Amino acid sequence: MKALISIDYTNDFVADDGKLTTGAAGQAIEEKLVAVTKEFIDAGEFVVFAIDAHDPTDRFHPENKLFPPHNVIGTDGRQLFGSLADLYAAHNAQENVYWFDKRHYSAFSGTDLDIRLRERGITDLYLTGVCTDICVLHTAVDAYNLGYKIHVYKDAVASFDPVGHEWALGHFAGTLGAEIL
């Protein structure tokens, strides 16, 4: 069984005026990311939207020292970017579509994702989203450590750091045994 994890494809990470944007690199993957997501939804596969959610009053969060405020709860920056927002709106009531907030880079850290995947018998994870070398990478590492087979759509992941993006793609394949699609 397989599942798609769509990671942080939000206005703050993709829009030109996003608070921590990948800009053109993130915008360039929209068509592929949306097509893959639609394919999984239409096939009845489990589709997870793992979305960064930051509380501006959380003075203990380590990212506060590393990055400007982004994906703040209750802001437009946290909304899905572009046509992915429309696709989610059209299908969010379906049983196979699941949105959850995450506080850390990895979609597994402090969430019930592993439980939800295992109760569905899922063994293979397909990853899309941003940033390749941050949240996608940390999710992939945790997935590997939990025993999942990893697949990454190279045309549906992006970063604001081209060198980090390329390094992460190599790390997925060479260190985590991921299939790069």
In angstroms, the CA 181 to CA 171 distance is: 14
Mean pLDDT of the chain: 95
Q: Is the pTM of this model over 0.85?
A: yes
Residues with Cβ < 8 Å from 85, sequence gap 6 or more?
79
Is residue 59 pLDDT above 80, yes or no? Answer: no
Is 18 within 8 Å of 144 (Cβ atoms)?
A: no
In the CATH scheme, what is the code of domain 2-180?
Answer: 3.40.50.850
pLDDT in tens, 75-84: 999 999 999 9
Other Cβ atoms within 10 Å of 38 Cβ, number:
16
Is residue 66 pLDDT above 90, yes or no? Answer: no
Q: 131 preceded by cis ω (within 30°)?
A: yes
Is residue 149 pLDDT above 80, yes or no? Answer: yes
Extents of the domains making up the chain: 2-180
The residue among 53 and 143 whose pLDDT is bigger is 143
